[in-house]
Chains A and B, each alone.
Chain A
């Protein structure tokens, strides 16, 4: 297969009645979507794009919730040769004004030709449009023609070339929305080929079960494109339903004899802590051959807690696996060996913190246990480099650099950012790690990103929101993430200076910051500390130093 179009056509012609996706929606019976149904629904959208004058190679933004319309709109764009990009839908708590503002900014950079949404949501989208912007059509989900058999020899998508861009992926927040990762057909297929090999994908027996959102690389690539393009059945539930009833994942695995699932570290803790026994009655997890932990730091304790909770239901110990992945490499960089648990490495804590070396130790009083993210997949090379770009020896911490045949084409319409991301053809990930015997241990971040429940949060976005609260002062607040072992992810902290010493004033200011940030960002902010003038440590250029302030905060909290 050389393009998505060819792969879809092949499935449609070879086994139209094969179920591609079991779509789960709370309170409804599961919907089996065959390749025929999937592509006839997609054809309706392809016709709608054509009718509205959308040209192949133009971007189409999809603002739709989990459901059949989203699937049809996405694959319809592929049939038409347009470039789909799925955005997160507005949540209950997010301010519609902020959503509108972020959307306007995204339109300015990405210059989409069309936006697809529901009639009820069209007013928010309309308000985000500005005169002379690129958007020529707001396409409503209820205005598409009825599903019909696609005529593959006439659809515009047939003319796409392997090196053409097939889709864009954005991460969240004001900063993330400015950086759409553009991937080509070829990059995605190269990733799928190497990754399928790494997980020993069995097209006859595997069943993928997922609750992940499709706007995120792990949800989009591993848990949507991989199954649909490779012909492996997918059981797809909504993240919204999962978070309110995590047992649905286990019931689905049991019912459909699921074999593969990907999820971020926090979800292991969440599932282990929040499911009642009555929801697991009769559940059999023995079919699950891999539950792959990726998109935030992997923690051995989280695997242990998850294993202990679900082992009585047939969960195999070797099912707990890890991967290191990023949108810029389409998805996976590494994958652990599915035949055994991920490699653990007990290292000296002091040497790690002070010399950035991972020295093995048996001394329990001064050690850290690191869990491997596995080995590079076949098409991806990994180096660990120092700040001059030189290779460092094994067991020395440095920045992870990667090179592969499945890299992004570029950040869409941002050649400046694309150029900055590469050094002599190597993509600098901004993550720290070390290697031992070919295994990659990811152990920190150079880039200033906070990862909360698998979502990338840019601290500068949070700080900008803090400055919108009356009583704060620009340049005198700092945001950073701290580890929360109980939830298995990071928690965002804001420290803000105030000249007013009154405790009631400060309490109200903290509350106002919590509310404003929670309403205007993907996170819920709980920890705000109001401090005196000059508490915050600044860099030589006068910006708040995030790591130094984090250490000061942790010392302050005791």
Chain B
């Protein structure tokens, strides 16, 4: 489940945020602290997560302290799904 979620998120980020469909993103690669996802794209990611996984990421959670990799993001989503 987690691997599938990570791959769905990676595909979205490469395709829609980076606009580089071939770009591979590993599960532990830093997303926010590296500048890969800039602040103007954080909302896109939050909206995608909400529509795809049915959970809301609060705006105050959109920072590197809450999640900075696909792995951490998937864990956050699963935690919220379990609530």
A residues contacting B by CB (< 8 A) are 26-27, 91-94, 240-241, 243-246, 266, 270, 274, 276, 453, 487, 511, 515, 518-519, 523-524, 526
Contact = CB atoms under 8 A, between A and B. Distances in A.
A187 B48 CA distance: 47
B47 A276 contact: yes
Nearest to A241: B59
A515 B36 CA distance: 7
A93 B62 contact: no
Interface of B: 18-20, 23, 32-44, 46-47, 59-60, 62-64
| Most B Cβ at <10 Å: residue of A276, A523, A526 | A526
B34 A515 contact: yes
Contacts of B43: 243-244, 246, 270, 274
Given A515-B34, A518-B35, A92 B63 contact: yes
B34 to A, nearest CB: 6
Nearest to A489: B40
Given A243-B39, A243-B42, A270-B40, A526 B20 contact: yes
Nearest to B18: A526
Nearest to B19: A526
Name the prevailing secondary structure of the A interface residues. loop
Contacts of A245: 59
24 contacts: A92-B33, A92-B63, A93-B34, A93-B35, A240-B39, A243-B39, A243-B40, A243-B42, A243-B43, A244-B42, A244-B43, A244-B59, A244-B60, A246-B43, A270-B43, A274-B43, A274-B47, A453-B40, A511-B23, A518-B34, A518-B36, A519-B34, A526-B18, A526-B19
Nearest to B39: A243
A244 B47 contact: no
A511 B38 CA distance: 16
Contact of B38 (A240, A266, A515, A524): A524
A211 to B, nearest CB: 12
Nearest to B62: A244
B79 to A, nearest CB: 19
A538 to B, nearest CB: 28
Contacts of A523: 38
Contacts of B34: 93, 515, 518-519
Nearest to A507: B22
Contacts of A524: 35-38, 41
Contacts of A241: 59
A270 B18 CA distance: 17
B38 A92 contact: no
Given A240-B39, A524-B41, 5 more contacts: A92-B33, A93-B35, A94-B35, A244-B39, A244-B62
Contacts of B36: 515, 518, 524
A49 to B, nearest CB: 33
A26 B59 contact: yes
A274 B62 CA distance: 14
B17 to A, nearest CB: 9
B40 A93 contact: no
Nearest to A92: B64
Contacts of A243: 39-40, 42-43
A266 B43 CA distance: 15
A519 B35 contact: yes
A125 B59 CA distance: 29
| Most B Cβ at <10 Å: residue of A93, A245, A274 | A93
Contacts of B20: 526
A27 B59 CA distance: 10
A245 B32 CA distance: 17
Nearest to B65: A92
B75 to A, nearest CB: 19
A487 B41 CA distance: 11
Q: Across chains A and B, which 3 residue pairs bring their CB atoms closest together, nearest first?
A: A518-B35, A524-B38, A93-B35
Contacts of A276: 47
A75 to B, nearest CB: 28
Nearest to A523: B38
Contacts of A453: 40
A511 B36 CA distance: 10
Contacts of A246: 43
A24 to B, nearest CB: 13
Contacts of A26: 59-60
B32 A93 contact: yes
A178 B17 CA distance: 33
A93 B47 contact: no
